[in-house]
Amino acid sequence: MSDVTPADLHHLIVVGHPDRNSFNHAVAAAYADMVRQCGQSPTIRDLYAIGFDPLLRSTERPESKGFHLSPDVEWELELIRTASVITLVYPIWFGMPPAIITGYIDRVLGAGLTATAIRHNQPHEMLANKYFVLVTTSGSTLPWLAERGQWEGMREAFDSYLETIFSFAEVEHEHLDSIVSPLSPDYAAQCLGRVADRARFACSAVLCRAHEQQKIEKLKHYQERGSL
């Protein structure tokens, strides 16, 4: 049983912004750069660039008689299966994530998940114990969002609720507010520094968890060999 190394750990970074020159893309790049510096491997998935279809088909709902997953969803799920950390990077528009992000949750993260499984708190076979990181931006300030109840509403829906139904080990959220054009270089650098710190923390947390899990598995292996 070989020891887990940083190179064994993968981060899937999903970006939901239509402009390839957006600050959100700079955020995703900064996050990925820090992951590489930590010796782990990132994959950036630009949903707009790949033409991801956010519309859930009736046959993709697990309750439907003809239930089956579409090929594009199967491809995304393969990326998720090998990821230790899933990071979503997106702006907040009109108090909500872009439709392409909610569509990704509907079609990919929620693939095959039934209402019965949610009601009975059944662990999500594919997502259980993975780390989930949200990096969001808004043109408005955080206090402005909080005054209107939008911040707490989004935290409940996209942090607490998704953590529970998808069985994530942990959910972290880094929000960057007052992201407006033109953005001062100093503030941009400060925000990207916070993103790098968040990525570094995620790398450390997932590596520590992998080492702990390996210790448990080794102990179990030795105990089973000793009982033979």
- pLDDT value at position 66? 86
The token pair at 228 is 């033979």
Tell me: the pLDDT tens digits for 185-197?
999 999 999 999 9
DSSP 2: P
- pLDDT value at position 191? 98
Tell me: the pLDDT tens digits for 44-85?
999 999 999 999 999 999 888 889 999 999 999 999 999 999
Mean pLDDT in the chain? 91
Three-class DSSP category at 194: helix
227 — pLDDT class (breaks 50, 70, 90): low
Alpha helices in the chain (DSSP H): 23-37, 71-81, 99-104, 115-119, 142-147, 150-155, 161-165, 185-226
CA distance 6 to 106: 31
The token pair at 224 is 């089973």
Over range 13-39, report the average pLDDT: 98
Task: State yes or no: pLDDT of 112 exceeds 60.
Answer: yes
- pLDDT value at position 200? 97
